[in-house]
Amino acid sequence: MSVLPVPEHESAPAPPPRPRRRMGRIVLTFFLWIVGIIAIIIVGLAIYASTPSFKNRIRQVIIARLEDSTGGRVEMKQFGWRLTHLAFEIDDLTIHGLEAPGQVPYAHLDRLYVRLQILSFFRPKIALNYLEADHPVIHLIVNPGGSTNQPQPKHPSNASTTDEIFNLQIGRTVLNNGLAIFNERSVPFELRANDLAAQVSYVPSSGHYVGTIHAEDIVASRGFDTPVHSALDASVDVGRNTANLISLTLQSGPQNRLPKTVIRVAGTLSNFSDPQWQFQIKGAIDALEIRALTGAPGLEGGTAQLDAGGSGNREQFKVDGNAAITGGAYRQGTVFITGVTAKAAAHVTQDLIAITGIRATVAGGSLTGEMRVVNWKTASTQPGHGFRSKAPIEK
C-alpha cells in the first residue's frame, strides 16, 4: 500500500490573524475624543458669546465700524443675537450728522432684525436671508449756503482708493413705518422687497457717494387693490452739493406676467440752496398701478405713454413732453366713463403752460383743441387770481 505525498503548500501552518478589531476601536475612540473636544469648545464659545460683556464688546465694535464708514456719531442702545436661529437684533440705532443739537438726527431706526443663512459649510459663505427695520428715519437738511447735515466718512490712508461702506444681498427686506425728511417736508414710506442688492461706496478724491440698488420683487398696495409687484434698478452719484441719478428703471405689473409699467428716468440736481436741475423720463404707466400705489380715486383702467424732459432752476425752467392715453376708464359715483383715448403735447415754462395737439375720444365722441395759460406762476402766487376751468358733467 502506497502513501500519497502531501503537497508542500498544504503542510505549511496558517499565519496568525491581524488585530483589526483592536485597531478599529482605537481609531473610533480617538475620533470620539476629537468630536467631544470640539463640542466642548463650541458650547463654551456659545455660552461666552451669550454673556452681556461679550455682547457689549461686539456692540462697541459695530459702533466703531459705523462711525468709520459714515463719519457720524453713532448711538446704539442694545445689540443681541440668537445663535440657534443665526439672528441678530439692534435696538435704537442713531447716526448723528452735522445737524444742530435738538434736531432730528441724520438717520435712526427703532429696531433692526437680521437673519443669516449659511450657504456652504465647506467655505465661509454666508448670506443675509431676512432684514426687517421698524420706523427707519432719514433726515436731510440743506442749508442756505448749500451745505448739508450729511457726514463724511473718515479719510482712509490712501485717498485715491474707493472706500466701500456696505455691499449687501438680502433675500427678503421689510421696512415698516419709514419716514424721509427733507428740510421740513416729511414723506412716509413702506417697503417689501425680495432679492434686494445694494452697494454704496465713498470716493475720497471727489467726496462723492456712489451706489447701485437692485430689487427683483417690490410689493406695494393700498386698501383692497391688487398688490403691485415691481422690479427696480438704479445707479446714483451723490456729493455734498450735487445729486446725479445716472439711471433708474422701474418695471411693474401682475406677478408672473409681463410688466405693464416700464419707466426709465435720468437726471441731475446741483446747488441745493439754489437748485439747478435737468431730467429725462420715458415709458409706459398703467393707471391701476398708479391707483394701487397712490390711492388716486376714480382710476379704473388705461395706459399712458410718456416722453418728457426738462431743465432749469426756481426762476427759469423749461419742460417739454408728449403723452398718449389708451383704454382709459374713470368712475366717480354714478358716473362711469370708459374707452378713453387721448394724446397731447405739453410745453411748460415759468411764464407759459401750453397744451397743444389735444385729440381725445370719449364715449363715442371726439374732442380737439389746445389750452394756454400765460403768467401762471405769477398769478398763482396772488390771492384770488389764477386759472380755473370747470365743466358740467352730463348724466
Alpha helices (H) in 50-146, listed in sequence order: 52-70
Q: What does the pLDDT read at residue 324?
A: 92
Average the pLDDT over 148-165 and give the result. 67
Average the pLDDT over 185-193 and give the result. 82
Q: What does the pLDDT read at residue 312?
A: 93
Alpha helices (H) in 210-338, listed in sequence order: 287-294
| Mean predicted lDDT score pLDDT of the chain | 78
pLDDT exceeds cutoff 60 at 26: yes
pLDDT tens readout for residues 274-323: 889 999 999 998 887 777 666 677 788 888 899 999 999 988 999 999 99
- Per-residue pLDDT band for 94 (boundaries 50, 70, 90) equals very high
Average the pLDDT over 182-186 and give the result. 83
pLDDT exceeds cutoff 80 at 28: no
Alpha-carbon separation of residue 170 from 44, 163, 293, 373, 377 (angstroms) = 31, 21, 24, 49, 46
Which residues, in sequence order, are CB contacts of 261 under 8 Å at separation 6+? 230, 250, 251, 252, 253, 283, 284, 285, 286, 289
The lowest-confidence range among 68-82, 249-263, 326-340 is: 249-263
For the chain, first and last CA: distance in Å?
136
Q: Which of 212, 106, 205 is nearest to 163 (CA)?
A: 205
- Per-residue pLDDT band for 27 (boundaries 50, 70, 90) equals low
Q: Cα(348)–Cα(350) distance, rounded to whole angstroms? A: 7
- Per-residue pLDDT band for 155 (boundaries 50, 70, 90) equals low
Q: What does the pLDDT read at residue 346?
A: 93
Please report the beta strands in the chain, taking only residues with DSSP state E, as ranges in sequence order.
73-82, 87-96, 107-120, 125-134, 137-140, 163-182, 185-203, 208-220, 228-238, 242-253, 261-270, 276-286, 299-312, 317-332, 335-349, 352-362, 365-374
Residue with cell 397743444: 356
Q: How many CB atoms lie within 10 A of CB 206?
A: 11
pLDDT tens readout for residues 31-75: 666 666 666 655 555 565 566 777 788 788 888 888 887 888 999
Q: Which of 290, 303, 175 is nearest to 222 (CA)?
A: 290
Average the pLDDT over 375-384 and give the result. 59
Strands 185-203 and 208-220: antiparallel
CA angle 228, 234, 237 (to 5 degrees): 145
Using CA atoms of 97, 102, 105, 110 in order, give the dihedral in degrees to the nearest 10.
Answer: 150
Q: Cα(338)–Cα(198) distance, rounded to whole angstroms? A: 42
Q: Cα(114)–Cα(116) distance, rounded to whole angstroms? A: 7
pTM: 0.65
Cell of 292: 394701487
Q: Which amino acid is at 135?
A: H
Q: What does the pLDDT read at residue 394?
A: 38
Average the pLDDT over 209-215 and give the result. 88
pLDDT exceeds cutoff 90 at 191: no
The lowest-confidence range among 220-224, 246-250, 340-344 is: 220-224
Q: What does the pLDDT read at residue 10?
A: 53
Calculate the CA 220 to chain-centre distance. 13
Q: Cα(22)–Cα(37) distance, rounded to whole angstroms? A: 23
Average the pLDDT over 80-104 and give the result. 85
- Per-residue pLDDT band for 137 (boundaries 50, 70, 90) equals very high
Q: How many CB atoms lie within 10 A of CB 215?
A: 21
pLDDT exceeds cutoff 80 at 180: yes
Q: What does the pLDDT read at residue 186?
A: 85
Q: What does the pLDDT read at residue 385?
A: 42
Q: What does the pLDDT read at residue 182?
A: 85
Q: What does the pLDDT read at residue 310?
A: 94
Strand partners, 249: 233, 264
Q: Are 167 and 126 in contact (CB under 8 A)?
A: no
Using CA atoms of 272, 278, 280, 281 in order, give the dihedral in degrees to the nearest 10.
Answer: 40
Does an H or E element contain 101, and which?
A: none
pLDDT exceeds cutoff 80 at 127: no
